[in-house]
A and B are shown apart, each in its own frame.
Chain A
Amino acid sequence: MSVLDIQSLTKDFGPQTVLQGLNLHVAEGEFVSLLGPSGSGKSTVFHLIGGLLQPNHGTIYLDGENINGQTGSISYMPQSPSLFPWRTIIENVILGAELFGKPDKEKAKQMLQRAGLGDYIDAYPAELSGGMRQRAAFVRSLLSPQSFICLDEPFSALDEFTRVDMQKWLLSIWEEERPSVLFVTHNIEEAIFLSDRILVLSEKPANVMEEINVTFDRPRSEDVMLTNDFIAMKKQIYQTLRGE
């Protein structure tokens, strides 16, 4: 069970209001994207959920429990892979679990095999490509004990080809495991391709401008990106973001 419920969340930094009464709900096993331009306070939402910041108003509930300002409630994958250079891949992916007890190395090995990193279990991050490092970072978040996963623009630093590969890969793993995911991105296609639901954020102060249900069948393949429905949806979101 992991249901995230955010109610009228407001955050000010000094005189500037970054979030204004944000409401957000992620159901069990749902993949929800927060889509917004850079600097729209997407990362602030994560810092609030992660407990690094205290909201000025509003409450964050995870499985019905108030987690305002409480760290360690969610599993997190940052924008940069943030692997420790002196740890091997296996040691890196168990780090999240290690913080809360004894990690399960066997499970980690299996997961790495499935992530296509079987040959790199004992390699150091420096020996891996950018895409592989991001995979390792995602495996780390899957292996963390918290079942709710927050992904913060995980593919924004990758090149176009690697990014599409990674999106497909992420989707395949997610469709098997079905954790609840909150995904932050500024890439419209990525949001449509991956999500069940997209929340389009406005500029500061950030609020949900539009909520879009993505109803394409799962498991999804890359071909869905070329359908008319997909392109129409992309256009609709684009216009919303432009304020038309």
Chain B
Amino acid sequence: MKNWFHQAWRPALVMFVILVGWEFACRMFQVPSWLLPTPTEIGVEIVQGWRDYHHHVLSTVHLTLVGFVIGVSVGIMVAVMLHLLPKVHQAVYPLMILSQNIPIIVLAPLLVTWFGFDDLPKLIIITLVCFFPIAVNMIDGLKRTDQDLIHYMKMAGAQKRQIFTKLEFPYSLPSMFSGLKISATYSVMGAVISEWLGGNRGIGVYMTLASSSFRTDRVFVAIFIIMVLCMVFFGLILLAEKLLIRSQSSGKEDQS
């Protein structure tokens, strides 16, 4: 606990100073609240508005989770498939990178045109932004598997399947988690962006409504919620990583 405080007080102090400066500046220059609300105004809205916006939060969390799970599954499947089938890897890898070059802002309305206002286009967007970091990181991790260990496995008479399940897959887990951390944050962003498209629930919707009615304080509430969601998500992934990956960090020094 003490250790935690030791690490956290510096960023907390910086945050606090920024907020105080913001509050002070807004009051001193009498900035109208539709232009830039003060942190206290935003804080009040966070507390008082909870009844109005909590269903939006739940909806976004739900959408994010479902999209994240689909995105992660697709990412892992793509990575494993491309690793096991080098020819497919060669054929599909450029396409995979291209898929990330399509601006979501352009793609989103198209998806709505094709699939309507249901959850389907939203999930497609989240999956599209989520699968990529996992797939790319995991493919790298699988490829980087220690050659000495592979050599041992082959000499010991391991089947190709055993080399994959016992060696390559566990070896790639730390890389997969690097991808998961990125995807976790992306998934929240993806969910919010997909909600801008339409529908009547979600932080994205709340944000659009607030923005068009000049309720700038609510826009900031939305930003705050998105940040909290991202952090919680990120934290959960960190926790899962700690529980799942054994001795990897200390395993580094033994390579000498």
Contacts and interface: CB of A to CB of B under 8 A. Distances in A.
Interface residues of A, number: 31
Contact of A100 (B151, B157, B166): B157
B155 A124 contact: no
Contact of A125 (B148, B166, B170, B254): B254
A172 interface: no
Top 7 closest pairs, chain A to chain B, by CB: A72-B157, A85-B251, A124-B247, A76-B155, A82-B152, A126-B254, A50-B155
Interface in B129-173: 146, 148-149, 151-159, 162, 166-167, 170
Contacts, number: 75
A84 B246 CA distance: 11
Contact of A99 (B146, B162, B170): B162
B244 to A, nearest CB: 10
Contacts of B154: 50, 52, 71
A71 B247 contact: no
A78 interface: yes
A85 B148 contact: no
- Chain B contact residues, majority secondary structure: helix
Nearest to A150: B155
Interface in A41-98: 46-47, 50-52, 71-76, 78, 80, 82, 84-86, 95-96, 98
Contacts of A180: none
A51 B146 CA distance: 20
Contacts of A128: 254
Contact of A126 (B148, B159, B166, B250): B250
Contacts of B156: 72, 75-76, 95-96, 99, 144
21 contacts: A52-B154, A52-B155, A71-B158, A72-B156, A72-B157, A72-B158, A75-B156, A76-B152, A78-B148, A78-B152, A78-B155, A82-B148, A82-B151, A84-B170, A86-B245, A99-B153, A99-B159, A125-B251, A126-B251, A126-B253, A128-B254
Nearest to A141: B156
A127 interface: yes
B155 A126 contact: no
A127 B249 CA distance: 12
B248 interface: yes
Contact of A86 (B148, B158, B248, B252): B248
A127 B250 contact: yes
A86 B246 contact: yes
A91 B34 CA distance: 63
Given A78-B148, A124-B246, A86 B251 contact: yes
B256 to A, nearest CB: 9
A126 B254 CA distance: 5
B141 to A, nearest CB: 13
Contacts of A52: 154-155
A77 to B, nearest CB: 9
Contacts of B170: 84, 86
Q: Is the interface of A mostly helix, strand, loop or mixed?
A: loop
A125 B146 CA distance: 15
Interface in B25-42: none
A208 B146 CA distance: 33
A124 B250 contact: yes
A132 B100 CA distance: 48
A213 B154 CA distance: 32
B149 A82 contact: yes
Contacts of A127: 250
Given A76-B152, A78-B151, A85 B247 contact: yes
B157 A99 contact: yes
Give the most central of B153, B156, B159: most A CB within 10 Å.
Answer: B156
Contacts of A146: 157
Contacts of A80: 148
A74 B156 CA distance: 7
A50 B150 CA distance: 13
A51 B153 CA distance: 12
A78 B254 CA distance: 16
Interface string A183-195: 0000000000000
B125 to A, nearest CB: 35
Nearest to B247: A124
Contacts of A78: 148, 151-152, 155
A133 to B, nearest CB: 8
Nearest to A80: B148
Given A80-B148, A84-B149, A99-B162, A71 B155 contact: yes
B157 A84 contact: no
A86 B250 CA distance: 10
